[in-house]
Chain A
Amino acid sequence: LAKTTQPISMDSYEGQEVNITCSHNNIATNDYITWYQQFPSQGPRFIIQGYKTKVTNEVASLFIPADRKSSTLSLPRVSLSDTAVYYCLVGGYMEYGNKLVFGAGTILRVKS
C-alpha cells in the first residue's frame, strides 16, 4: 500500500488560495488519489478524487503530475469554515477489498 506524506499543519487567511501537497512515491498503477476533509467531532467527508492530470469540482482542484508520485489539493479562496484536517489517501481495487490507509493528515487553520 502506498504511504502518504503531508505537512502536519498549515495556516492561511480568509480569501487566500491554499495548496496542500501530498507525497506518495510508491503509488501503484491502479491506485486512485482521494482527499477527505474532517471537522472536529465529525466523520471524514469526501472532497475530490483523481487518477492523473487535473480534476476540478465545486469545492477544490486536484493536480497530479505525470509521474503521480505527488498530488496537490487546491482550495480557492478559503473561509473560516474550511478549518479542518485534510487527509490524502491512495488506494485502488484490491482483490480483498478497498483498503484505504489514512495518514496523519494536514491541520488547516484559516484565520480572519
Chain B
Amino acid sequence: DTAVSQTPKYLVTQMGNDKSIKCEQNLGHDTMYWYKQDSKKFLKIMFSYNNKELIINETVPNRFSPKSPDKAHLNLHINSLELGDSAVYFCASSEDGQGKNTQYFGPGTRLTVL
C-alpha cells in the first residue's frame, strides 16, 4: 500500500485554467503539507494542515487554495494558472507538527503550464 499518494502524476494545461491535485495518506497522521519544487530543485513549503486546520501558510498567491476534507486528505486547487506555476508539487504527511517527526512524501505531481 502506498503511504502518501498523489493524483495525477503529470498535469499539462494551458495558462488561465483551473486545476486540482489530490493527496491522500493512509498512515493515520495528523499533519499534511504541500511543497513546491522548482527547476533548480529547491523545495519550498507552501501549506501545512493539522487535523484539517491550516497551520502554515507561506507567501503563496491566493490563486492556490488547499482544502482538507478530512485529516487523511489535503487537496490543492490552483486558479488561473500561470507559466511560473510549472513545477513539481509534493504532498507530505507527518505524525504531528513537531520538528522531530519524519515527513513522508508522495511521488510528486509534475505540473506544466503552457
Contact = CB atoms under 8 A, between A and B. Distances in A.
B106 interface: yes
A100 B48 CA distance: 11
Nearest to B95: A98
A46 interface: yes
A32 B103 contact: no
B86 interface: no
Interface string B96-114: 1111111111111000000
B100 A49 contact: yes
A43 B97 contact: no
A93 B99 contact: yes
Given A43-B92, A100-B45, A94 B105 contact: no
Nearest to B50: A97
Interface stretch (B11-19, B36-44, B60-68, B70-78): B36-44
Interface string A52-72: 000000000000000000000
A102 B44 contact: yes
A49 B42 CA distance: 21
The majority secondary structure among interface residues of chain A is loop
A82 to B, nearest CB: 17
Instruction: List the 8 closest A-B pairs by CB distance, nearest first.
Output: A43-B105, A97-B55, A92-B99, A102-B43, A91-B99, A93-B98, A97-B97, A98-B97
Contacts of B45: 99-101
A46 B97 contact: no
B90 A97 contact: no
Contacts of B42: 102, 104
B41 A93 contact: no
